[in-house]
Amino acid sequence: MLRWLRGFVLPAAACQEDDDSFRYEVLFEDLDHNGDGVVDIHELREGLKNWSSSFGLNSETEIFKAGDTNDDSGLDFVEFARYLQDHEKKMKLAFNSLDKNKDGVIEASEVVAALKSLGLHVSEAQANTILKSMDSDGSMTVDWDEWSDYFLLHPARNIDEIIYFWKRSTIIDIGESITIPDEFTEEEKRSGDWWKRLVAAGIASAVARTFTAPFDRLKVMMQVHSLKSRRMKLISGFEQMVKEGGILSLWRGNGVNVLKIAPETALKIGAYEQYKKWLSFGGAQLGILERFISGSLAGATAQTCIYPMEVLKTRLAVANTGEYSGIIDCGKKLLKQEGVRSFFKGYIPNLLGIIPYAGLDLAVYELLKNYWLDHYSENSINPGIMILLGCSTLSHTCGQLASFPLNLIRTRMQAEALVEKETTPMIQLIQDIYKKEGKRGFFRGITPNIIKLLPAVGIGCVAYEKVKPHLGLT
């Protein structure tokens, strides 16, 4: 019904001088399913689903916060009409700010310029895709009637929030990546939804890491015992670990991997916001390069602070059954036997690996997503979860391939006291690996690492969607 109103009643009524009350009344009656004269949040949610599937998360909640002035958990017609009147004024200002040449229509070039102002560079084809989602007459431009029709029930309040709606996408953390944190809207920061999203992402990440922990431990074992693992295949590797310590040994070290999610994420987000402020000279909008630099520095900062936990994870993963009774016991023995410096072994190759990983991960993800939008998006500006899942998996794979040699060197240095009984400088270790194992030695353990990527991303996405409703997110 709402699609019929959107396509026929609303545009027709817009031709009348006193159409506002009529439009609002027809729309209100359609939303008020039970006819009690009040639209509750469930009715509004259903209406928004029919109106558009692309409005985003918590749209009905944001509308309720703005429109329900008497806090009775319902919108009567007076509140509903007042909200729409105020909202259309804001949308008019947004439309005028986009319409730079003041010709009464928004063109692709104006969309490109608007997105560029927020650091997002899109092609003319992508801008046309955005326009298609609003263009009802096929002119490849959007006039005020089309604009107000499309955004009538969108909770955005200004042009920045509209642009953010166009550009937003989600990247799921799978435990290895140092991804650039997603940006939050001002509404999310005010309402507290930002920390709920972080909690949901953290839980999803913990679930994904736990499900794929056996592959992660096998990778570490193959990296550390590289000479012995030349003949080790996936199945035989798992069999050896189970034979040595039982089924539960496959998850050895995963506890630390899960525990470090919260501090690492908090540090990364805080550092990212701070680095963005330092790089936004004179209040200028940040481009892709500045966001990449901020993200890389944020990843380096977070890794520096939680790096001892990375060492503990590796030591637990390669330890024999009974060698450590737990995380605390492992930490005490490391401190007593090898000193404080043992908690930062492999730090330099770990730091060096951040740039190729984060750079390729971000660049490939944007390249693949933009290619899909340019060639296959048709009328949708939302790639959908499966496309984003594929882009994310391929970008993580490229990042892993680029940084894996440094990852291997880091892991070998973290665990070398258990294997070599002495400290080997990074350059000498690189020479030894090349001399004894050749180029392939730098990629020992890459197979289980690549295999875990797709299930890790998929499990993380599913877990994230399942957790959100429990935190009041939709």
Which fold is adopted by the domain 2-167? Recoverin; domain 1 (1.10.238)
For residue 310, what pLDDT is reported?
A: 92
For residue 212, what pLDDT is reported?
A: 92
pLDDT reading at 214 higher than 70: yes
The ranges assigned to domains in the chain are 2-167, 186-471
Q: For the full predicted model, state whether its pTM sits above 0.85.
A: no
CA pair distance 125, 377, nearest whole angstrom: 10
Look at phi and psi of residue 432 and say left if phi exceeds 0, alpha if psi is from -120 to 50, else beta. alpha
Tokens of 236: 């035989």
For residue 379, what pLDDT is reported?
A: 53
- Is the separation of the CB atoms in 43 and 31 below 8 Å? yes
Q: What is the pLDDT of residues 100-123, one digit of tens each?
A: 888 888 888 888 887 776 556 667
CA torsion 215→220→223→224, rounded to 10°?
-150
* Average pLDDT of the segment spanning 200-220: 90
Element (H, E) at 106: strand 105-106
Q: Lowest-confidence range among 43-57, 207-221, 298-312, 351-365? A: 43-57
Q: Do domains 2-167 and 186-471 have the same CATH topology?
A: no
Kindly indicate whether the domain formed by 186-471 is annotated with CATH number 1.50.40.10.
Answer: yes
